[in-house]
Amino acid sequence: MGVRYCGGCNPRYDRVALVKKLQGFFLQESFVAAQPGMQHPAVVVACGCPNRCVNLGDLALPKARLVWLAGWEDLLPAKKRLAELLALADAAGEAGGMAHEEVLGLLPHRAPMLFVDTVARLTPGAEITAQFFVDPQLPVLAGHFPSAPVFPGVCTVEAIAQAADLLLLSQERYAGREPLLTGIRKAAFHRKVLPGETLTINVCILEERPELGSVLCRGQALVGQALCAEAELRLALR
């Protein structure tokens, strides 16, 4: 379970005590600081006042998995919501993901422009965790710093976009439609991706307008627990 505190500039109650009380209802769960790239079934956001000024821009998870605390009156509603989210996480874990053949069945991309191998976890309409092995024999590596190959940042963003495509195409309402990348914002690169490494790609839906076929997603690409790249992507389904 992730926890993120506000800056504490004007707290009206003991935030740490409230989080510890909440943790007492879930003794089987570990409550740790929510960091970029870490996967949690939910993140408890402890605000000292009603302003909710906590920075959450580096977390790739849907808003529905945020559990807000702004005072002791939120304790029991937070307990109920956390129990629901843990049950959903257990169900998603049992459901599994996608083998490579299933990925090929949904994505229109093919080698050498296919940057998703398998899916470890998928919650349709909410989030996805996918993997891609950066094969040292990839053609793009031959010309991208040939003496010290690096997986291009643009390909890392494309991998995030393809994972987002899978997240959308797994929904019945988008079945058979063509995903198009129409915009990139807030893209940032933090670490090189090297040949032989495996990318873990986490994507969640931030905003969806099914009537327009327009979706805004947030994605992160990691190697292990190291955040390599992150971006918000706008996709259209045609």
Query: Is 184 exposed, middle or buried, given 0-12, 13-18 or 19+ CB atoms closer than 10 A?
Result: middle
Asked if 155 contacts 141 with a C-beta cutoff of 8 angstroms, the reply is no
What pTM was computed for the model?
0.76
Confidence of residue 119 (pLDDT cuts 50, 70, 90): very high
> How many angstroms separate the Cα of 196 from the Cα of each of 17, 103, 134, 137, 151?
45, 21, 5, 9, 10
The conformation of residue 110, written as its DSSP 8-state character, comes to -
pLDDT-derived band at 49, boundaries 50, 70, 90: confident
**CA dihedral (59, 190, 226, 142) positive or negative:** positive
The answer to whether residue 228 scores a pLDDT higher than 60 is yes
Which tokens is 161 given?
């976009």
Residues 168/179, Cβ–Cβ less than 8 Å: yes
pLDDT in tens, 122-181: 888 888 999 999 999 999 999 999 999 999 999 999 999 999 999 999 988 898 899 999
**96: pLDDT strictly greater than 70:** no
Report the range out of 12-21, 56-65, 169-178 with the highest average pLDDT.
12-21
State the catalytic residues: 144
- Reduce the secondary structure of 161-191 to three states and give it as a string: HHHHHHHHHCCHHHCCCCEEEEEEEEEEECC
**Residues contacting 154, CB < 8 A, separation 6+:** none
